């Protein structure tokens, strides 16, 4: 067992309350690595348990199981160790092989009774629920409770983001004026789809907040180096300087910086891509939100305040609120609502394994400028915004028929903000249409024309976005038609894609296009 101080190299503290459980004392409370904000520490508010001793477990088996992005491993360990350092002697910080071993190290054999907030993955929830000493408390870190979502879902015929989002807005009185949406419209997406300004390599916006690394980051980097050297774990991607907040204080600085300097331009260029400016006006808050360092309600409330004060326009604020109070909440609840077998859905029967160049984030192996650029962003930072995720990475996987479970695993491992709950609906549903339309009404994929319109990536590319065949054929354009052809029957029956399918009949070069596509196989595009 290691106290927080020992985890950081200091002498072990004595008698922190976890080693022997006094039946009169409040039960210890376990914090998972994505439950790091103040709202997880006293989950029952004041009263009994308000000062319960805390337990944190750094389980090595989690890193051993999969090949994570190194920047993600760094961020999570850094955030956990920073939190332990802040909590001081109140926390027992254990380094163990598994959670089960960690509980025994912290709380004896068998472990003393303890509480934990509802974990964010089914695996962790199952573990907690099967341990009789663990009491699972309601989830924290989301705006809508499980019970409220269940009541909402039961009252609907089908689930749609737009109606969920409006319901959340009204319930939380978010951007509302006397029961009506501020500005008279619920949805300002139409104003938020501008292509990037032509001829500009970057947006004219203050850059994102950046952290300064400290001794804890050095220690984490040292440990990761050692584990890799010992052959204990293997990572993908680069662990450059840490880019995302690892403490509550850093997360609040990042939020403040975003609201003050970047929120006003958030909406307009939300869907745009620039090779030289991958972050544009995005908030980069998914990582601290998903680590539990920020509460979603405080993020949207601050954005609304900026709007009310006249510091940010409605389209940007509505766009940001939609992402957090709409999409993030919706995705969280769909993860639980869709059930365990959702991860195995494969409606399109896609079974191709992921090619090595993709698994290894080998951007240099790829000729297609959009894919190479985005793959390099993932390799270097573990992050890209939603359009590269959906329309470059996910679209490539969908067009090439990659196994959706393997694609989900790849996103989970390679993104700093990737967790089981957020990956499954976003990848299985949104990006790979593997649920056959439970989450979206049509598959999200496009030809090169969309990427050309929304980015500056096609100009320097060796391919032409309009070319379907031949040496300059754009893999997205050819891949789009090949995808429609492969799933012609299903997509013809969907009113949102039937027109596109009819376009196939007008393609005189379809046989040549299909031959070219088949010949390419898994060679990097």
Give the residues lining the site for ligand SF4 (CB under 6 A).
368-370, 448, 451-452, 457-458, 461, 463-465, 474-476
Site track 372-411 with ligand FAD (rule: CB under 6 A), x = hit: -------------xx--xx---x----------------x
75 touches 416 (CB < 8 A): yes
Distance (Å) of CA 177 to CA 181, 184, 310, 323: 6, 9, 15, 20
Question: In this chain, which of 16, 35, 283, 377 binds ligand FAD, going by CB under 6 A?
Answer: 283
Site track 240-279 with ligand FAD (rule: CB under 6 A), x = hit: ----------------------------------------
Place of tokens 């379809």: 510
Rounded least distance, CB 429 to ligand SF4, Å: 24
Q: Select the binding partner of residue 111 from ligand SF4, ligand FAD, none (C-beta < 5 to 8 A, by kind).
A: none
90 touches 65 (CB < 8 A): no
Reference 92, options 101, 105, 82; nearest CA is 105
70 touches 235 (CB < 8 A): yes
State whether the Cα torsion 325-423-379-71 is positive or negative: positive
Question: In this chain, which of 401, 418, 443, 479 binds ligand FAD, going by CB under 6 A?
Answer: 418
Rounded least distance, CB 151 to ligand SF4, Å: 44
Rounded least distance, CB 393 to ligand SF4, Å: 12
Reference 412, options 382, 374, 438; nearest CA is 382
Place of tokens 């030809």: 447
Give the residue with the Cβ less far from ligand SF4, 2 or 457.
457
Question: In this chain, which of 92, 247, 315, 323 binds ligand FAD, going by CB under 6 A?
Answer: 323
Rounded least distance, CB 131 to ligand FAD, Å: 27
Q: Select the binding partner of residue 427 from ligand FAD, ligand SF4, none (C-beta < 5 to 8 A, by kind).
A: ligand FAD
Place of tokens 């769909």: 334
Q: Select the binding partner of residue 465 from ligand FAD, ligand SF4, none (C-beta < 5 to 8 A, by kind).
A: ligand SF4
Give the residue with the Cβ less far from ligand SF4, 79 or 370.
370
Q: Select the binding partner of residue 315 from ligand FAD, ligand SF4, none (C-beta < 5 to 8 A, by kind).
A: none
- Beta-sheet pairing, 54-59 with 134-137: unpaired
Q: Is 427 in the site for ligand FAD (CB under 6 A)?
A: yes
Rounded least distance, CB 254 to ligand FAD, Å: 10
**CA pair distance 129, 318, nearest whole angstrom:** 38
Torsional class of 378: left (φ above 0), alpha (ψ -120 to 50), beta (otherwise): alpha
Q: Is 328 in the site for ligand FAD (CB under 6 A)?
A: yes
Q: Is 289 in the site for ligand FAD (CB under 6 A)?
A: yes
Give the residue with the Cβ less far from ligand SF4, 307 or 476.
476
Output the furthest CA–CA distance in the chain (Å, rounded): 80
**CA pair distance 181, 187, nearest whole angstrom:** 9
Of 87-95, 242-250, 352-360, 426-434, which part binds ligand FAD (CB under 6 A)? Answer: 426-434
Rg (CA), the chain: 24
Q: Select the binding partner of residue 450 from ligand FAD, ligand SF4, none (C-beta < 5 to 8 A, by kind).
A: none
Torsional class of 361: left (φ above 0), alpha (ψ -120 to 50), beta (otherwise): left
Give the residue with the Cβ less far from ligand SF4, 1 or 513.
513
Reference 103, options 151, 56, 39, 138; nearest CA is 56
**CA pair distance 409, 175, nearest whole angstrom:** 36
Rounded least distance, CB 327 to ligand FAD, Å: 4
Q: Select the binding partner of residue 448 from ligand SF4, ligand FAD, none (C-beta < 5 to 8 A, by kind).
A: ligand SF4
Q: Return the H-helix or E-strand segment holding 134.
A: strand 134-137
Number of residues that bind ligand FAD (CB under 6 A): 28
Distance (Å) of CA 113 to CA 26, 38, 93, 121, 135: 10, 22, 17, 21, 8
Length of the chain in terms of residues written: 525
Task: For residue 58, give the DSSP letter.
Answer: E
Q: Where do contacts with ligand FAD occur on this chain (CB under 6 A)?
A: 282-286, 289-290, 320, 323-324, 327-328, 331, 385-386, 389-390, 394, 411, 415, 417-418, 422-423, 426-427, 430-431
């Amino acid at each position: 067992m290691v106290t927080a101080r020992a985890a950081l190299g200091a002498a072990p503290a004595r008698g922190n309350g976890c080693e022997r459980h006094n039946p009169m004392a409040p039960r210890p409370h376990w914090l998972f690595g994505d439950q790091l904000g103040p709202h997880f520490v006293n989950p029952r508010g004041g009263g009994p348990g308000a000062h319960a001793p805390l337990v944190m477990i750094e389980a090595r088996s989690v890193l051993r199981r999969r090949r994570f992005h190194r920047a993600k491993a760094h961020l999570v360990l850094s955030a956990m160790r920073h939190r332990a350092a802040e909590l001081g002697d109140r926390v027992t910080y254990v380094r163990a092989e598994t959670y089960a071993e960690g509980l025994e190290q912290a709380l004896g054999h068998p472990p003393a009774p303890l509480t934990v907030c509802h974990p964010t993955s089914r695996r962790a929830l199952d573990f907690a629920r099967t341990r009789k000493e663990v009491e699972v408390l309601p989830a924290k870190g989301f705006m809508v409770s499980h019970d409220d979502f269940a009541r909402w879902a039961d009252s609907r015929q089908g689930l749609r983001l737009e109606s969920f989002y409006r319901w959340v807005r009204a319930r939380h009185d978010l951007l509302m004026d006397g029961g009506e949406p501020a500005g008279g419209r619920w949805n300002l997406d139409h104003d938020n789809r501008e292509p990037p300004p032509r001829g500009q390599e970057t947006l004219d916006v203050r850059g994102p907040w950046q952290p300064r690394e400290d001794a804890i980051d050095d220690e984490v980097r040292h440990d990761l180096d050692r584990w890799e050297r010992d052959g204990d774990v293997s990572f993908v991607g680069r662990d450059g300087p840490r880019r995302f907040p690892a403490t509550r204080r850093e997360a609040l600085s990042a939020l403040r910086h975003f609201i003050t300097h970047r929120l006003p331009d958030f909406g307009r260029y939300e869907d745009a891509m620039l090779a030289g400016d991958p972050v544009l006006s995005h908030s980069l808050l998914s990582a601290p939100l998903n680590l539990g360092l920020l509460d979603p309600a405080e993020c949207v409330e601050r954005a609304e305040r900026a709007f009310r004060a006249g510091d940010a326009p409605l389209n940007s604020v509505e766009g940001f609120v939609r992402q957090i109070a709409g999409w993030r909440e919706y995705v969280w609840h769909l993860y639980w609502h869709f059930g365990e077998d959702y991860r195995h859905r494969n409606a399109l029967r896609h079974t191709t394994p992921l090619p090595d160049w993709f698994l290894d984030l080998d951007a240099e192996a790829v000729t297609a400028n959009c894919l190479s650029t985005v793959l390099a962003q993932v390799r270097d930072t573990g992050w890209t915004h939603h359009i590269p995720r959906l329309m470059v990475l996910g679209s490539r996987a969908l067009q090439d028929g990659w196994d959706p479970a393997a694609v989900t695993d790849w996103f989970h491992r390679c993104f700093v903000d990737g967790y089981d709950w957020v990956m499954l609906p976003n990848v299985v549903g949104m990006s790979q249409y593997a649920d056959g339309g439970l989450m979206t009404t049509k598959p999200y994929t496009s030809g090169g024309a969309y990427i050309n319109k929304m980015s500056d990536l096609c100009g320097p590319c060796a391919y032409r976005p309009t070319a379907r065949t031949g040496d300059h054929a754009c893999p997205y354009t050819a891949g789009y038609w090949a995808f429609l052809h492969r799933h012609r029957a299903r997509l013809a029956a969907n009113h949102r894609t039937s027109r596109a399918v009819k376009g196939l009949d007008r393609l005189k070069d379809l046989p040549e296009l299909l031959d070219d596509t088949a010949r390419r196989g898994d060679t990097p595009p």
